[in-house]
Amino acid sequence: MKYQETKETLNQLVADLSQMAMIIHQTHWYMRGTNFLKLHPLMDQFMDEINDQLDVISERLLTLDGHPYSTLSEMAAHAKIKDWPGKFDKTTPERLTHLVAGYRYLEDLYQHGIEVSDVEKDYSTQDIFIGFKTAIEKKIWMIQAELDQAPEIDR
């Protein structure tokens, strides 16, 4: 099949971007404390960005004659980003650190997509992967700065 590994990576991104959107929602809902007034609305922007990526990734998969996951059960079965139950038992820095972990996973998955799309010579999809990886790296830098830490992009 043409672009098989690229399509598999795109579908993995469908599951993981969906999971990441929910983790950002949870951060938004269960946030308290210092910087709440600044960070709470910022999570809306983060959700919009992830949802935009999800839409582009899903539509690219459809363009390649793929079949994006489209049910909650499919998302749960395939997502690899870890979650935790929603409670007020985490600090905002803990929640932001959890977001960084999810973004780092996405960064790695986009890198994998860059590599497989290169092998399969699907340069249009590769361009999407490169752009979104760059955006994710910036997001890691920004959250790490809020946590008073270096971005550690090349960890």
Q: What is the pLDDT of residues 96-146, one digit of tens each?
A: 999 999 999 999 999 999 999 999 999 999 999 999 999 999 999 999 999
**Cα distance between the two ends of the chain:** 35
Residues 6+ apart with CB under 8 A from 117: 3, 6, 9, 123, 125, 126, 129
Domains parsed from the chain with CATH numbers: 4-146 (1.20.1260.10)
Count of Cβ atoms closer than 10 Å to residue 8 Cβ: 15
Write down the mean pLDDT value for the chain: 96
Residues 6+ apart with CB under 8 A from 100: 140, 143, 144, 147
Q: Model's pTM, two decimal places?
A: 0.96
Helix (H, G, I), strand (E, B) or coil at 119: helix
Q: What is the pLDDT of residues 34-65, one digit of tens each?
A: 899 999 999 999 999 999 999 999 999 999 99
